[in-house]
Amino acid sequence: MSVQLTVSVERFPIAGRFVISRGAKTEAVVVTATLRDGDALGRGECVPYARYGESVESVVDQLESLRALLEAGADRAALAALLPPGAARNAADCALWDLEAKRTGVPAYRLAGLERMEPLVTAYTISVGTPQEMREAAAKAAHRPLLKVKLAGEGDAERINAVRAGAPEAELVVDANEAWTEAAFIANSEACARARVRLIEQPLPAGADAALAHLPHPVPICADESVHDRVGLATLVGRYDAVNVKLDKAGGLTEALALAAEARRLGFSIMAGCMVGTSLAMAPALIVAQGAEFVDLDGPLLLAKDREPGLRYEGSLVFPPERELWG
């Protein structure tokens, strides 16, 4: 029986607002690719991101451009040759992983070479706001072991201090989303060190991060917008100490696993990250997250309602997906 592709756009309201240095949003808009082969169904979810020149329409168009090839049985290797890294390739790649797992009865993590999957502690995101707003948000989440603090540039030292005051025991990572200047880097990173922050994510713009090679790193620095797939990864050695591996950037689980392996070889630590999406997007990312130093797969925790069935979260502990969801 031939494979059938369905492409759909879905919207999931966010609980409150999700605010970073580039703006705020109140819903997660995701594009889902579904591949059906008889009784076997494979799904993959992606989040188009304007920062990388993507829109819902462009991602849908990219997936539709693959229809004939996917329905003719194109595999993941062929997919990588047809589409650049990004959201559309991620949805199709993860759908192919899921379809293979459903066809063969072999779980996706085993297809990826893992013997087992373990529950993992994920970060929980504190959105950008005033220092007082962020202190209050941190206090509400202070029971969580790891908080990811979104920053915005001006006033970030005060935001960091406020979050630490609100959650004195939690481990912290901060994410500037390219909002710092080179001039502000030292003062902000020193404020992070005083607040016992464990990791600073993408402090400088991706096109202006060469300065990180000669600036002090009192707290380890993680590349996000500066790294997508393996291309150019070696140029980041000396600038960064860790890389954030996201399926939507890498173009799916296939490249994300290869990226993580190459990053390890080059001496980087790994953060397994995500866009704000549902459990369907987090499920394959959990394979990359096995063994990662930092896990940031809290997308469903930020939604007013996740898709069903979804992943099981107990506080900040996220459990491997059930077969019905993915893989």
In this structure, what DSSP letter does residue 309 have? S
Which pair of structure tokens corresponds to residue 205?
């713009």
The pLDDT of residue 22 is: 60
The pLDDT of residue 121 is: 98
CB atoms within 10 A of CB 114: 15
CA 208/CA 265 separation, integer angstroms: 25
Q: Is 125 helix (H, G, I), strand (E, B) or coil?
A: strand
DSSP code per residue over 25-53: EEEEEEEEEEEEETTEEEEEEE---GGGT
Which amino acid is located at 185 in the chain?
F
DSSP code per residue over 206-245: GGG-GGGGTS--SS-EEESTT-SSSTTGGGGBTTBSEEEE
Sign of torsion over alpha carbons 227, 233, 236, 237: positive
DSSP code per residue over 53-98: T--HHHHHHHHHHTHHHHHTT--HHHHHHHS-SSHHHHHHHHHHHH
> What number of CA atoms fall less than 13 Å from residue 23's CA on the CB side?
6
The pLDDT of residue 20 is: 65
From 164, 168, 171, 177, select the one nearest 128 (Cα to Cα).
177
Active site residues: 150, 246
Divide the 327 residues of the chain into consecutive groups of 10 and give the mean pLDDT of each group: 92 81 78 96 97 96 96 93 96 98 97 98 96 97 97 95 98 96 95 98 96 97 97 96 98 98 98 97 98 96 96 98 97
Query: φ and ψ at 96, to 5 degrees?
Result: -70, -40
Q: pLDDT per residue over 272-303, tens digit each?
A: 999 999 999 999 999 999 999 999 999 999 99
The pLDDT of residue 188 is: 96
CA 243/CA 225 separation, integer angstroms: 10
Q: What is the pTM of this model?
A: 0.95
